[in-house]
């Protein structure tokens, strides 16, 4: 993955050769080794170049990958067959997707810490921007802006635990917004050690008191967590096998002192790029919530929600 801005000296020869194959959104594909000049030792190979500048390095990289890059790759492979693509990742659809997002971030600056700083700062600023309420379902920031605001309104008590926090956007935002008494009680956990490291680094860099720890909900470390007034699980359950759903909800409930908040996307089929394994709607969350000894309510707002309060 090359950045047109940072790797201009490498991209310029591709432009001079006139080897543009496809362009879609911020991505272009060029021949690194064109078919005409190849032999048994030198196979045709493509390279991906993006036009994103530092101000556009944010969570919408995922949007561009899903809606622009991956469809463009399908078109190219339909025309040229299994042509090699320089540094193309391997693995499941979800692993390819997450690696491509990371490759875009890493390509933008020689110091990866600066690249991730841009990613977080731009995303958090966009999430906190109350003047921007464009409701675009393909946007990877706007819907979560509304989801996080609803969480802030639903937060009961002082402490909050975000399970499956991923990049940690919610704890970081709540630490920005919360008063002094609440800000120190925000914590995010995730089983992904890399995501926890970069979220923790951003909290330290921005001097936010949010705490991040590597914890798998199904491992003994989760049993040692204290109860939190509010526990959130946003876009978590759809990543689990169906057989583990009820166990996960019960474990979340055991960590809840006052209120459990669950939000899941509503999909017709599980999204493979995002690593989804099952689908939900409001009636299914209602059935799951009925198994808890709690006062529950379910509703639809940028996905399906379950809010469970201790009696």
pLDDT in tens, 284-293: 999 999 999 9
114/270 Cα distance (integer angstroms): 34
Q: Give the model's pLDDT for residue 134.
A: 59
Would you place residue 135 in the very low, low, confident or very high pLDDT band (cuts 50, 70, 90)? low
The mean pLDDT value for 295-310 works out to 97
CA 18, 19, 20, 21: dihedral to nearest 10 degrees? 140
The mean pLDDT value for 158-173 works out to 96
- Residue 133 scores a pLDDT above 60: no
Q: Give the model's pLDDT for residue 178.
A: 85
Would you place residue 5 in the very low, low, confident or very high pLDDT band (cuts 50, 70, 90)? very high
Query: Please, are residues 255 and 227 in contact by the beta-carbon 8 Å criterion?
Result: yes
Q: Give the model's pLDDT for residue 132.
A: 58
- Residue 308 scores a pLDDT above 90: yes
- Residue 19 scores a pLDDT above 90: no
Q: Give the model's pLDDT for residue 163.
A: 98
Q: What is the pTM of this model?
A: 0.92
Where in the chain are the domains? 2-116, 140-310
82/92 Cα distance (integer angstroms): 17
Q: Give the model's pLDDT for residue 63.
A: 95
Q: Give the model's pLDDT for residue 9.
A: 94
User: Using one digit for the tens of pLDDT, what is the confidence trace for 22-75?
Assistant: 999 999 999 988 777 677 777 888 999 999 999 999 999 999 999 999 999 999
- Residue 180 scores a pLDDT above 70: no
User: Using one digit for the tens of pLDDT, what is the confidence trace for 235-260?
Assistant: 999 999 999 999 999 999 999 999 99
The mean pLDDT value for 3-9 works out to 95
CATH for the 140-310 domain, from 3.40.50.150, 1.20.120.140, 3.40.50.10470, 3.30.70.120: 3.40.50.150
Q: Bigger pLDDT: 306 or 177? A: 306
Q: Bigger pLDDT: 183 or 131? A: 183
């Amino acid at each position: 993955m090359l950045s047109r801005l940072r790797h201009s000296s490498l991209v310029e020869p591709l432009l001079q050769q006139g080897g543009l194959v496809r362009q879609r959104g911020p991505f272009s594909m060029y021949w690194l080794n064109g078919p005409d000049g190849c032999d048994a030792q030198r196979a045709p190979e493509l390279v991906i170049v993006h036009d994103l500048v530092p101000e556009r390095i944010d969570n919408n990289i995922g949007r561009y990958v899903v809606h622009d890059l991956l469809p463009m790759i399908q078109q190219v492979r339909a025309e040229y067959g299994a042509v090699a693509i320089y540094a193309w990742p391997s693995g499941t659809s979800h692993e390819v997707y997450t690696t491509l997002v990371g490759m875009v971030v890493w390509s933008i600056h020689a110091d990866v810490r600066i690249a991730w700083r841009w990613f977080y700062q731009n995303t958090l600023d966009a999430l906190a921007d109350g003047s921007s309420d464009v409701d675009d379902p393909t946007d990877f920031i706007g819907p979560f802006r509304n989801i996080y605001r609803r969480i802030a309104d639903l937060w009961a008590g002082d402490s909050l635990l975000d399970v499956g926090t991923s990049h940690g956007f919610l704890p970081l935002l709540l630490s920005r917004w919360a008063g002094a008494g609440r800000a120190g009680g925000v914590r995010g956990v995730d089983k992904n050690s890399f995501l926890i490291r970069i979220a923790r680094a951003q909290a330290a860099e921005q001097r936010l008191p949010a705490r991040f720890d590597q914890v798998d909900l199904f491992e003994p470390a989760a049993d040692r967590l204290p109860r939190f007034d509010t526990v959130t699980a946003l876009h978590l359950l759809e990543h689990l096998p169906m057989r583990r759903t009820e166990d996960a909800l019960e474990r979340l409930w055991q960590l809840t002192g006052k209120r459990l908040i669950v939000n899941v996307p509503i999909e017709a089929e599980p999204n493979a790029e995002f690593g989804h394994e099952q689908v939900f709607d409001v009636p299914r969350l209602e059935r799951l919530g009925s198994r808890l000894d709690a006062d529950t309510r379910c509703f639809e707002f940028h996905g399906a929600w379950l809010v469970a309060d201790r009696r």
